[in-house]
């Protein structure tokens, strides 16, 4: 952390709510470093028993797709309904997919 | 005056545990809405709530042992300063965030070995309360220790504040280890170890962390006393209780 910067860097927080589920983005917070971010996430986002695992990543380490590229990125997939496995019946025993 | 019975000693012991948690919990809660960062605000409030939760167990048991029909709430909100049995260190004002976290660290470093030992108490109620509180204390210690080191080894200003906090609090720390007759009775009954026996574990936890935080341990062994015996509290406790107890004092018997 540089001395002239007053704000701690921003971290994105991901929480896994239960075993077998995937981590889900829950929000962001400020912290001095990664360990501090984990502790802050514990206090800010899991105080009502929401999680069993926490991931944090510095927000500026995330590369995001550009909203202005929406057309070229996503539109071509719209009419390709055959890419969805919706023509199969999933047996109940298979569980969560 | 008749010599104190084992029940008196047990009650004294339980009030000390409960009042420590209550007074520190209330001091922590004073940060709610005013902490230096939103994340710290929530973390401090969580710590305060943990401590108030522990208070309910300790004072609940104390009220049962007392057997006068009082509840944990009665003990918390209707006793006056001279009836409190908390350490003086826990009642002095927060001052700044640095002193608040230094106090928390000095206390947490005592609570972890203390509650660990109490988890093996011959008194099952005490063992149960201690085992539950211990998990919270371990987290509190992780957090307070990291903060003390980071601020000690931080900027010139943060180091100066942490050193001032340590210089101010150090003479209060010794009271944690001062045994008396009630402690001896607890020790003889295998209910609790002597507080003085915690000193090596406390030193082993505190001194390296302070060194890592570039902080100088003050010299001198003078220790304030009078809090855990109730002999003489600081002038700050009465002011704190006036705020904490105002609702029950103004509207006796008011319930949620």
Q: Check residue B240 and give its pLDDT.
A: 97
Find chain A residues with C-beta within 8 A of B42's C-beta: 40, 43-44, 47
CB contact B159 to A (< 8 Å): no
CB contact B156 to A (< 8 Å): no
Q: What is the pLDDT along chain B (256 residues), one digit of tens a residue?
A: 456 788 999 999 999 999 999 999 999 999 999 998 999 999 999 999 999 999 999 999 999 999 999 999 999 999 999 999 999 999 999 999 999 999 999 999 999 999 999 999 999 999 999 999 999 999 999 999 999 999 999 999 999 999 999 999 999 999 999 999 999 999 999 999 999 999 999 999 999 999 999 999 998 888 999 999 999 999 999 999 999 999 999 999 888 7
Find chain B residues with C-beta within 8 A of A4's C-beta: none
Q: Check residue A2 and give its pLDDT.
A: 47
Q: Check residue A89 and give its pLDDT.
A: 82
The minimum CA-CA distance between B29 and chain A, rounded to whole Å, is: 15
How far apart CA B211 and CA B218 sit, in angstroms, is 12
Judge: B143–A39 Cβ closer than 8 Å, yes or no. Answer: yes
The minimum CA-CA distance between A40 and chain B, rounded to whole Å, is: 6
CB contact B158 to A (< 8 Å): no
Find chain A residues with C-beta within 8 A of B139's C-beta: 42
Q: Check residue B3 and give its pLDDT.
A: 66
Mean pLDDT taken over chain A: 85
CB contact B3 to A (< 8 Å): no
Per-residue exposure over A18-39, b if at least 16 CB sit within 10 Å of its own CB, e if not: eeeeeeeebebbbbbeeebbeb
Positive or negative, the Cα torsion across B218, B36, B86, B205?
negative
Judge: A40–B39 Cβ closer than 8 Å, yes or no. Answer: yes
Among residues B148, B113, B120, the alpha carbon closest in space to that of B134 is found at B113
Low-confidence residues in chain A, pLDDT < 50: 1-2
Find chain A residues with C-beta within 8 A of B146's C-beta: 35-36, 39
Write the residue in A8, A32, A44 that is nearest to B42 by C-beta. Answer: A44
């Amino acid at each position: 952390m540089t001395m002239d910067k007053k704000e701690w860097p921003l971290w994105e927080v991901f929480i896994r709510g239960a075993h077998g589920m995937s981590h889900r983005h829950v929000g962001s917070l400020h912290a001095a470093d990664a360990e501090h971010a984990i502790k802050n996430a514990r206090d800010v986002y899991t105080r009502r028993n929401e999680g069993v695992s926490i991931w944090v990543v510095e927000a500026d380490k995330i590369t995001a797709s550009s909203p202005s590229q929406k057309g070229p990125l996503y539109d071509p997939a719209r009419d390709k309904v055959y890419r969805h496995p919706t023509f199969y019946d999933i047996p109940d025993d298979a569980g969560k997919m | 005056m008749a010599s104190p019975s084992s029940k008196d000693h047990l009650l004294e012991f339980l009030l000390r545990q409960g009042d420590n948690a209550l007074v520190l919990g209330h001091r922590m809660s004073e940060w709610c809405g005013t902490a230096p960062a939103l994340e710290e605000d929530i973390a401090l409030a969580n710590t305060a709530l943990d401590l108030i939760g522990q208070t309910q167990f300790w004072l609940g048991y104390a009220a049962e042992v007392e057997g006068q029909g009082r509840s944990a709430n009665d003990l918390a909100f209707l006793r006056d300063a001279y009836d409190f049995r908390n350490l003086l260190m826990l009642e002095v004002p927060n001052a700044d965030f640095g002193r608040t976290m230094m106090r928390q660290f000095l206390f947490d470093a005592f609570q972890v070995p203390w509650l660990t030992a109490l988890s093996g108490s011959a008194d099952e109620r005490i063992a149960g309360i201690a085992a539950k509180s211990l998990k919270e204390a371990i987290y509190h210690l992780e957090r307070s220790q990291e903060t003390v080191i980071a601020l000690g080894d931080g900027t010139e200003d943060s180091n100066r504040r942490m050193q001032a906090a340590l210089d101010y609090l150090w003479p209060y720390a010794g009271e944690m280890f001062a045994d008396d007759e009630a402690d001896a009775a607890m020790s003889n009954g295998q209910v609790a170890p002597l507080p003085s026996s915690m000193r090596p574990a406390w030193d082993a936890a505190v001194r390296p962390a302070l060194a890592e935080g570039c902080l100088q341990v003050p010299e001198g062994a003078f220790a304030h006393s009078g809090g855990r015996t109730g002999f003489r509290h600081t002038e700050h406790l009465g002011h704190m209780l006036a705020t904490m107890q105002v609702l029950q004092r103004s509207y006796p018997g008011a319930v949620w």
